[in-house]
Structure 1
């Protein structure tokens, strides 16, 4: 499939070429972080399409599919931005059913979502498999926090200052733009660009 060339697609092709320079064979994970409503999911979707255009098998996942249920979050106390930042996502499930089996390659199956946060309901696990050579594109809030950052082969941070209280806590503790990440200014989605050198 050949995508229609637009300034956004051209930028993503250039970004993909840079990513693929460091990718030989096997499994690779690209993680995308950024403040609330910064366009992480769209960016991940579009990047995945460009990587597919380059002939690679690509899977998509989002941290939205790895929320803890509201009941599980309540175990950690009252609903506050701090609780959401620290305990809103089930990182154990993320590692156990997605990252670790994906890394094993071959016919090992993995799951790309465990919860529908809009319904606060578990989703029936859909175990998927792929070839030994594949790329996973994962987007989500806090995905470049220090305790997760080393899981990813490529780290992309969408530029922008946090305004949501949970994001303010996260950025004060560990700014994703400083996590050895490629920093992308996507505030004009039709004309994304690499952020200035001081932000990369």
Structure 2
């Protein structure tokens, strides 16, 4: 289905074309990082629609749906920004039920949602499969931290200075804009722009 052409859609078509030129076949994972409330989830949704416009099979997921329960987080100490940054996400589950089986392709099934953080409750997993050529667009805070960054084929960061304490910790340790292959300025969401950062 052809999307209505807007400045935002035109921009995202350019990003999609760039990514597909490098990773057009097989399974590809696109990770979108950015500060709290920076627009990364909507960016992921819209980018997925642009990929679908190009007749690609696309799956969407958010790291928000791979939280540890409050009880599990409490094992790591008091409820602080540092605890959330380091232990809030169940990275083992993210790898085990989503990233690794998605990479396997074939008949390997994967899960795009495991936990409802708003209810602090597990959700019934829905096991999905897809064709050999498929994309996963994953958004969430801290996805471009060093220990996760190598999992992704394409790394997108939403530009913005960290305000939330957990984001400040993350950026002090590893600014996702320096790890990203694409940095997007969403200060005007309907007219996004590309930003370039020197990692040297």
Q: Same fold (TM over 0.5)?
A: yes
> What residue in structure 2 maps to residue 71 of structure 1?
71
Instruction: Please give the per-residue CA displacement for 1:122-170, whole angstroms capped at 9, x wherever unaligned.
Output: 0001000100110000000001100000000000000010010000000
CA contact (8 A) 1:183 1:199 kept: no
Question: Where in structure 2 are the equivalents of 1:77-88 lying within 5 Å?
Answer: 77-88=77-88
| Whole-angstrom distance in 2 between the partners of 1:190 and 1:140 | 21
> What residue in structure 2 maps to residue 182 of structure 1?
182
Structure 2, gaps ≥5 residues long: none
CA separation of 1:60/1:139 partners in 2, compared to 1, >3 Å: closer, same or farther? same
CA separation of 1:11/1:81 partners in 2, compared to 1, >3 Å: closer, same or farther? same
Question: Where in structure 2 are the equivalents of 1:131-150 lying within 5 Å?
Answer: 131-150=131-150
Q: Secondary structure at the match of 1:12?
A: helix
> What residue in structure 2 maps to residue 101 of structure 1?
101
CA shift at 1:197, angstroms?
Answer: 5.3
Structure 1, gaps ≥5 residues long: none
CA shift at 1:104, angstroms?
Answer: 0.2
* Structure 1 length-normalised TM: 0.97
CA contact (8 A) 2:77 2:83 kept: yes
> What residue in structure 2 maps to residue 193 of structure 1?
193
Instruction: Please give the per-residue CA displacement for 1:15-72, whole angstroms capped at 9, x wherever unaligned.
Output: 1000010023210000000001000100000000000001100000000000000000
CA shift at 1:187, angstroms?
Answer: 1.6
Q: RMSD between aligned alpha carbons?
A: 1.2
CA shift at 1:196, angstroms?
Answer: 4.0
CA separation of 1:38/1:180 partners in 2, compared to 1, >3 Å: closer, same or farther? closer
Instruction: Please give the per-residue CA displacement for 1:85-108, whole angstroms capped at 9, x wherever unaligned.
Output: 000000000000000000001121
Larger displacement relative to structure 2 (78-87 or 20-29): 20-29
| Whole-angstrom distance in 2 between the partners of 1:74 and 1:118 | 17
Aligned length: 200
CA contact (8 A) 1:40 1:139 kept: yes
> What residue in structure 2 maps to residue 89 of structure 1?
89
CA contact (8 A) 2:38 2:186 kept: yes
* Structure 2 length-normalised TM: 0.97
